[in-house]
Chains A and B, each alone.
Chain A
Amino acid sequence: DAKTTQPPSMDCAEGRAANLPCNHSTISGNEYVYWYRQIHSQGPQYIIHGLKNNETNEMASLIITEDRKSSTLILPHATLRDTAVYYCIVGDQGAQKLVFGQGTRLTINP
């Protein structure tokens, strides 16, 4: 079973920042937070991951709370192509499998 809770759906206006929340209250000390997304009819795509520090890459930023019980994925300037299902996944770095939950269906509106 997935160890994360995400809202089932969200909307965001094109050009705005999309902030996707994730709760992982039972995360343990050696577990990372991973974000993947799945655009319609495509395979999942890795976005970003982090342990306890905030992380940023060319796709997104990941903000993890100090107690590590929740995190937020930020897409700084959402485009229509960011419409997808976003999955927040918790696992240790040696985790040999990704356990996907239901994810958040993000719709970017023009």
Chain B
Amino acid sequence: DTAVSQTPKYLVTQMGNDKSIKCEQNLGHDTMYWYKQDSKKFLKIMFSYNNKELIINETVPNRFSPKSPDKAHLNLHINSLELGDSAVYFCASSQNRGETQYFGPGTRLLVL
């Protein structure tokens, strides 16, 4: 059983398009996260939600908008995609804030 799943696994799109990445966790966790891993392999947190409320927003452009319809889902919508948005995006979840985080398999986004 997949604990944290993301769709799609790969996403290739043109500059200027709008796209969404979905994340679901079946662990019953209260907190979910989005991380970005760039071409240099640095992993950086973007957002964190606890019980559907935004608790971390790490200087991410307004083009990125997370949405949490319920505790088990945290989706990432990106408007007006730019070349620099090309990266691997990881979703994660934890039981509560500050506890062990479980990561999804990643979504590889390529903007052409």
Binding site for B on A (CB under 8 A): 38, 41-46, 49, 85, 87, 91-100, 102
The residue that B106 contacts in the complex, of A42, A92, A93, A95, with Cβ under 8 A, is: A42
Chain B, residues 22-38, CB within 8 Å of chain A (1/0): the string is 00000000010100000
Interface of chain A: mostly helix, strand, loop or mixed: loop
Count of chain B residues near A, Cβ 8 A: 24
Q: Is B77 an interface residue (CB 8 A)?
A: no
Is B98's CB under 8 angstroms from A49's CB? no
Q: A38-B43, A96-B31, A96-B55 are in contact. List 19 more A-B contacts (CB 8 A).
A: A42-B105, A43-B104, A43-B105, A44-B43, A44-B90, A44-B103, A46-B100, A46-B101, A46-B102, A49-B100, A87-B43, A92-B98, A93-B99, A95-B98, A97-B45, A98-B43, A98-B101, A100-B42, A100-B43
Is A100's CB under 8 angstroms from B44's CB? yes
Q: Is B97 an interface residue (CB 8 A)?
A: yes
Of A42, A49, A91, most B-chain CB atoms within 10 Å: A42
